[in-house]
Amino acid sequence: MDGQPIHKIENLDVLYKELGYTPDIREAGVLPDEFIWYEYTKGNPSPFASCLQMHIVEYLVKNSIVFICEYGNQYQDWFDDHVAAVTEKTFHVLLAE
C-alpha cells in the first residue's frame, strides 16, 4: 500500500465492540485497554493471539473498503490459519491437563 493507511478508526467503540468489550463491561468499570489485555493476553489461561488478530480482521472487513479491496482475497487463508492455530493450542492445553 506504499505506506498509506488502510483504515482510519472513526469510532473506537465500534472496534471495542468487535473485540468483545460490551456496555456491561464498561459499566463494571473495566477500561477497554484492560479488557483487551486481560481477554487476549495475561488473564487468559491459554492466550490465543490469533483470536485478537481475527477480531481485528473482522472489524476491517466490516469497516474498511480499502482493506477489502487490498486484502479481501486473503481473508479465507487468514481464517483457516486462525482455526489451525486455535485447534493446535487447544489440543496442547488439553494434553497438559
Global confidence as pTM = 0.73
Cβ-proximal residues to 18 (8 Å cutoff; 6+ apart), any chain: 55, 56, 58, 59, 62
pLDDT value at residue 11: 94
Span 35-50, pLDDT tens digits: 988 888 776 655 467 7
Q: Grid coordinates representing 63?
A: 469497516
Span 14-32, pLDDT tens digits: 999 999 999 999 999 999 9
pLDDT category at 10 given cuts 50, 70, 90 is very high
What residue ranges do the domains of the chain occupy?
12-96
pLDDT value at residue 50: 72
Let me know: does 17 contact 52? Beta carbons within 8 Å: no
Average pLDDT on 66-83 reads: 83
Average pLDDT on 66-78 reads: 85
pLDDT value at residue 21: 95
